[in-house]
A and B are shown apart, each in its own frame.
Chain A
Amino acid sequence: MEGLDRDPPLIARSQSRRPSSPLVIGALLTACAVAIGLTAALFSQGSQALLVLSRDARRSIAITPQNDQEFVALDDLATMFQLNVREDVGAITVTYKGKTIVLTPDQALASISGRLISLPAAPVRTGGRRWLVPVEFISRAFALVSDVRIELRKPSHLLIVGDLRVPRIRVTYEPLGAAARLTVDATPRANSTVSQDGNHLALRFDADALDSPDTLLQPPPQGFVQSVRLLDAVTVGVDLTPRFAAFKATSQPLDSTMRVVIDLVGAQTETAAGPPAATNAAGAATTAPPAPPELGALTLPPPSIHTIALDPGHGGEDEGARGTDGTKEKDVTLALARRVKAIIEARLGIRVLLTRDDDRNVALDARAASANSNKADVFISLHANASFRKTLSGASVFSAAFPPSAEAAAAAVSIERLPTFGGGTRAIELLPWRLAQAPFIDRSVELAEIIGQQFQNRVPLSPKPVDRAPLRVLEAANMPAVLIEAGYLTNPDQEKQLLTNEFQNAFVQALYDAVLKFREVVEGGPRPAAGGGQ
C-alpha cells in the first residue's frame, strides 16, 4: 500500500542518474566490490543450486547467497522460462506471454498488473551486468503470471514446474523393545508399495520424483536399519541387518501426508512369545499363511471402548457463541468436558483425552488428529449453540453428513496391497483425511441416537434433537464421532441454566450413561431401541 503512494522513486532515480563523475566512479567501484563479493560467495557455496524439475527435464539454476537471502540470476530464469527482461530507467520489466512483472532496483517489491507483491529483498545487480532476484521472486511473482503450476520449495532448493507429484519424504526410526518401527511420511500424499528382497526393503512411490533430505533417516541408522537411501528417483531403499526377520507395513493418511508404518521384527526376539496367532479381529483380507506365533502380540484386541477423545469446542481467541449475559461458549464447553472426563475415568476406567485442557485455540484438524493418533475409540465434541431466535433452546446431537459424491469416493476407497508377515500381502484401505469418518458413519449415527435417548427427560432437548450436518471436526475422525450442542446461549434462561451445577451434573450423568450403552453396542451386547428422532 505504501509503495503505491510512493511512486516518485522512479523519477528520483532518473534524476540521480546524471550525477557528478566521482559519484559514478564510486558507484562503479561499489558495484565491482559487490560483484567480487558475490562471485566469492558463489564459489564458496558452489554446490548451492536450485533444482528445477519439470515433466521433460531436470535442470538447475545457481543460487547466490547474500545477506541471509538466496538470489537467482534473472538471466537464468529468462533462459529457462523464455522470459523477456528489459531494463528501463529505474525499472526492470519482465514479460512472459504478454504478462508483465515490474521490479524496481531498490525496492523489495514486484508489481504485477498494478498489484504489489512483496519480496524478501530488492533486486541486486552484479558487476553492472546481471540482475539477481530473491528466489521468492519465482514463487511470489513469476508463479502468478506463469500458465503452468510453479511450486518453490525453498528448504529443499527445489522448483517444481507443472503438475508433477514430488512428495517430501521423511523417514524416522523408533526402537520398540526387540522390535522396531520405521515411519515414512510422504507430503503431499503419495501412495507407495513396499517390496522385500532379502534384507532389503524398497518403497516405490507413485510419484514423478521425491523431495528427500540429504540424510534420509533421522536419527542416524541404528538397530535393524543399516542405511536408508534413494534407489532411484521414486524409490527409497532400506538396508536391514541380518537380525531382521519380518515386517508389516500399513499406510494411513494424515492430513496432507501419507504415512507408511513399517514394523520390523527380529529373528528370535527375546520378547515373550504371545499366544498362538489369534484371529485378526479386523477381518482384513489376508492371503498370507497364518502369522507365526511370536507375532501374536500384534493382533488386535476385541472391540471395546478404551479411550475417548473429548473435544471442548473453540478456545483462546475463538470464543464461540456468546450469551446475552456474556457467557462464552469456550468456557462452558471446557467446564463440561472436565466434568465428563472426571466421572468417566473414575467410574469406567476408560482413558479420556481432552483435545484442549486450557483456554487456547486448537485447529479443527488438530482436534481430530489428536483423537486419531491416540487411537481413541470414540470422539465427542462439546459445544453450546446460538440462534437468531432468542426463544430457541435445548440440546442437540449431530453426526457427520457427507455429500453423495464424497460418500461415493469413500466407498471407492483405494485398496493397496502391502506385504505382510510371512511373505504374503494384505489389503490396506487408504482414505482421504476428510473422509476418515465415512466408514464409521453408521456407528456415529447410532451413538448420536443413544445420546439423544439418554438426554430425554434429563437434559432439555431442542425440537430437532438428533441430526446430521457436514461438520468439519467430525469428518476427519477415524472412529465413531458426534458433536453435542448442550443448549442455546442466546436464550437468556438457558444461558443461566447451562452454568448451574444441576444442569451440568444431569448432562454429565446422561452422557456417562450413553457411553456405557454405546460400549455395550460396540462389544456386541444389546442393541439400542430404534428411534431417537431425526
Chain B
Amino acid sequence: MTSGRLLLIAALAAAVSIVVLVLVGLPRLNRAKSPAPAAASAAAPAVPGRKIKARLFYVSQDGLRLTGVEREVAYGEGTANQAREIVNAQLAGVAEPLVSPVPAGTKLRALYVTERGEAYVDVSREAVSGHTGGSGDELLTIFAIVNALTVNLPAVTAVQLLVDGKEIETLAGHVDLGRPLAKNMSWIEE
C-alpha cells in the first residue's frame, strides 16, 4: 500500500516536473539556441515600445528622385525582423506634404534575408495593380524599398522584390526585377 502510494506520488511529481520543464524550460532553451539568425522565422517580430531611427524614402518635390526622411521605426530582433519593420514603415501611408513612392494598399507579405545578405521582399499585388505605370515612378517605388533596407541595415547588401510570392519581370513594364538590386543613391536627392 505505502509503496503503491509512494509510487503514485513519485509519478505525479515526475509528471509535474515534465510539465514545468515543457512550459518553462523549453522556450528558454529555444531562445538560447537562436542567436538571431539572418533568415529568422515570422515569429516574435518586434519588441513593444522600443524604437530605432531609420531613413525612409519619399517622392521629392520635383518628382524625379527620392528624399530621405528620418523616422522612428519599431525595433525588431535580428536583421530579418528589423527589415520587416523598416519595410512595413516604408509601405505605410504618409501625410502631406510627403508623398509615398509605393502604391497605396501595398502590404508586406513576407521577407527573408539570405546568408549572402540578399533580402527577398514579397509585397502584395497592389504594388502592381495600383501603380501609375511610369518608368520614373517605377524606379522610385523600387529604389525606395531597396534603399530603405540597404541604407539602414548594413547586413543587407541587395534586395529582390517579389509580388504575391512570385518572382516577377517588372512592376510596371520597365525596371528589371529578375535579380537582386543593390543600394543606389543616384535616385536620392542630396
A-B complex is real: yes
Binding site for B on A (CB under 8 A): 313-314, 318-322, 329, 364, 383, 385-389, 391-392, 396, 398, 403-404, 406, 434, 462-464, 469-473, 475, 483, 485, 488-490
Q: Which of A403, A463, A471, A490 contacts B62 (CB 8 A)?
A: A463
Q: Is B140 engaged at the interface, CB distance under 8 Å to the other chain?
A: yes
Q: Which residues of B contact A471 (CB under 8 A)?
A: 135, 174-176
User: Cβ of A388 and Cβ of B140 under 8 Å apart?
Assistant: yes
Cross-chain contact B174 with A472 (CB below 8 angstroms)? yes
Chain B, Cβ-Cβ closest to A384: B134
B137 proximity list for chain A (CB < 8 A): 385-388
For the complex, is B63 an interface residue (Cβ under 8 Å from A)? yes
In whole Å, how far is B177's beta carbon from the nearest beta carbon of chain A? 8
Please determine whether B179 and A472 come into contact, CB atoms closer than 8 angstroms.
no
The answer to whether B176 touches A389, judged by C-beta atoms less than 8 angstroms apart, is: no
Q: What chain A residues lie within 8 Å of B59 (beta carbons)?
A: 388-389
Nearest B-chain residue to A462, judged by Cβ: B64
Inside 8 A of B170's CB, which chain A residues have their CB? 364, 472
CB-defined A-B contacts under 8 Å, sample of 11:
A321-B134, A386-B134, A387-B137, A388-B137, A392-B64, A392-B136, A403-B181, A464-B64, A469-B175, A472-B170, A490-B134
Q: Is B92 an interface residue (CB 8 A)?
A: no
Cα A483 to Cα B173 with chains together (Å)? 12
Q: Residue on A with the closest CB to B177?
A: A472
Inter-chain contact A320/B139, CB cutoff 8 Å: no
CB pair A387–B63 under 8 Å, yes or no, is yes
State whether the Cβ of B41 lies closer than 8 Å to any Cβ in chain A.
no
List the 6 closest A-B pairs by CB distance, nearest first: A386-B134, A389-B63, A321-B133, A386-B132, A392-B63, A472-B176
Residues of B within 8 Å of A469, CB to CB, are 135, 139, 174-175
Whether a CB of chain A sits under 8 angstroms from the CB of B151 is no
Chain B contacts of A434 at CB under 8 A?
Answer: 176, 178-179
B89 — which chain A residues lie within 8 A by C-beta? none
Q: Which residue of B lies closest to A468 (CB)?
A: B186
Q: How far is the CB of A100 from chain B (nearest CB, A)?
A: 21
Contact status A388-B174, CB under 8 Å:
no
**Contact status B176-A320, CB under 8 Å:** no
- The CB with the most chain A CB atoms within 10 A, among B133, B139, B178, B179, is that of B133
Q: Is B101 an interface residue (CB 8 A)?
A: yes
**Residues in A whose Cβ lies below 8 Å from that of B61:** 389
Whether B133 and A386, one on each chain, are in contact in the complex, defined by CB atoms closer than 8 angstroms, is yes
Does B155 lie at the interface of the complex (its beta carbon under 8 Å from any beta carbon of A)?
no
Determine whether the beta carbon of A389 is less than 8 Å from that of B181.
Answer: no
> How far is B172's CA from A489's CA once the two chains are assembled, in angstroms?
15
List of A residues within 8 angstroms of B99 by Cβ? 388-389
Residues of B within 8 Å of A462, CB to CB, are 64
Q: Assess the A392–B62 pair: CB atoms within 8 A.
A: yes
If A320-B173, A434-B176 touch, whether A385 touches B135 (CB-CB below 8 Å) is: yes
Q: Which residues of B contact A388 (CB under 8 A)?
A: 59, 63, 99, 101, 132, 137, 140
Q: Is the CB of A485 within 8 A of B135?
A: yes
- A364 to B135 Cα, complex, angstroms: 14
Cα A321 to Cα B134 with chains together (Å) = 6
A500 to chain B, nearest CB (A): 20
Chain A residues with CB below 8 A from B179, complex form: 403, 406, 434
CA–CA, A352 to B25, complex, Å? 74
Give complex CA distance A403, B176 in Å.
11
Q: In whole angstroms, what is the CA distance A463 to B64 when docked?
A: 8
Residue contact B134 to A488, C-beta cutoff 8 Å:
yes
- Tell me the minimal C-beta distance from A333 to chain B in angstroms: 11
Q: In the complex, A531 Cα to B122 Cα: how many Å?
A: 40
Known A-B contacts: A314-B173, A389-B99, A472-B174. Give 13 more (CB < 8 A): A321-B132, A321-B134, A322-B133, A388-B59, A388-B63, A389-B61, A403-B179, A403-B181, A403-B182, A434-B179, A469-B174, A472-B169, A488-B134
Docked Cα-Cα span, A403 to B181, in Å, equals 7
Contact A490 B132 (CB under 8 A): yes
Candidate in A314, A386, A485 with the most chain B CB atoms within 10 angstroms = A386
**Known contacts A319-B133, A321-B133, A388-B101; is-contact A472 B175 (Cβ 8 Å):** yes
Interface centre among A320, A485, A489 (most CB of B within 10 A): A320
8 A Cβ contacts from B92-147 to A: 99, 101, 132-137, 139-140
Contacts of A488 in B (CB 8 A): 134, 136
Q: How far is the CA of A475 from the CA of B176 in the complex (A)?
A: 9
A387-B173 contact in complex given A392-B64, A463-B64, A470-B181, C-beta closer than 8 Å: no
A385 near B134 with CB under 8 A, answer yes
Pair A389/B175 contact, Cβ less than 8 Å: no
A47-B143 Cα distance, complex, nearest whole Å: 56
